[in-house]
Amino acid sequence: MDDLLRIDDTLSEEQRLIRDTVRDFVADRVLPHIGDWFEEAVFPARELAPALGSLGVLGMHLEGYGCAGLDAVSYGVACRELEAGDSGLRSFVSVQGSLAMFPIWKYGSAEQKDEWLPRMAAGDAIGCFGLTEPDHGSDPAGMRTHAKLDPSGDWILNGAKMWITNGSIADVAVVWAQTEDGVRGFVVPTDTPGFTAPEIHKKMSLRASVTSSLYFDDVRLPASAVLPGVRGLKGPLSCLSEARFGILWGVVGAARACLESAVDYSTSRIQFGRPIGGFQLTQEKLAWSYVGLGQSQLTALHLGRLKDAGTLTPRQVSFGKLANVRAALDIARQARSILGGNGITLEYPVIRHMNNLESVLTYEGTQEIHTLVLGEALTGIPAYR
């Protein structure tokens, strides 16, 4: 499918090389199998993680500790190409780099960084991020998970988290909990006694992704487990901004894959003696989908350049996440309608992307929360309650 706006022409040579390298990896290692993984609800993380580490995409936007240290646009381009394969693949990379590695890199001690970051960058260790709880999603300030210091100086962690990507396969969890000193982050090895992470089943979305609950039953942690560099909700919310940036790029890839499938199908599917792409109603769907895709790409690229300039704000990230996910979901639904009955089968990528995007619409901040973020930015009046 032609890039009429020549958006990728504005990328640097290195950024285009990253695009092509990740796209080739997805074509070789993911696309031949992703339909089966989705149907069977499996994700071969232990096989893919070292390969993704060798590819250089795990924590690729971080400096040192075996990370690539690349710019934000390069990271965004990689997320776009990963999610053109599947949202579960991009989610794995986002959680590893932006939600698990980033807080250790940004707020961790030297010992925490040395212990975990090189292994995570290589894909030898898998991380997860524990913030959302069964009763507290959009309002993390109400979290019930708590940690208390006992007389020995150890922390005792109790509580539960839910909807945690990579939870059942993680080697380390970055867990946020209430303490007498406010919300703190803890680096929790998952083999610590009292830690359990059962997988959540019967999902109809993100099936090629591991989603889990986390339970902490008197989990004893040394004083060195706490992230020393941050207190309060600033810690987890800064991680979410990192992850949302990857999402607003990633969904462009899912949308592009759906539109490419619809264009290919519309030019080969014959009805009434002609390709259905020759009918005005089909072309209207394709044209508006292409407009939405182009607008999303331009939004992602602009926000990426703001991030590289050091001026990107959380409100701008909310704009991108809200706008681009909604556009991607609309493109997926239009593509599904163009494919007709074939659009609900896994022979084509559309229904898989469409179902995945229903989750992406919700996680890392629901569309309602991002709408309220923008509403407050416009009026100066918070309307969360």
The CA-CA-CA angle for residues 322, 93, 78, to 5°, reads 75
Q: What is the spatial distance between Cα 360 and Cα 97, in angstroms, rounded to a whole number?
A: 17
β-strand pairing of 195-196 with 211-221: antiparallel
Q: Which one of the listed residues 39, 63, 364, 376 is annotated catalytic? A: 364
At a CB cut-off of 8 Å and minimum separation 6, what does 305 contact? 72, 73
199 is catalytic: no
List, by residue number, the catalytic residues. 364
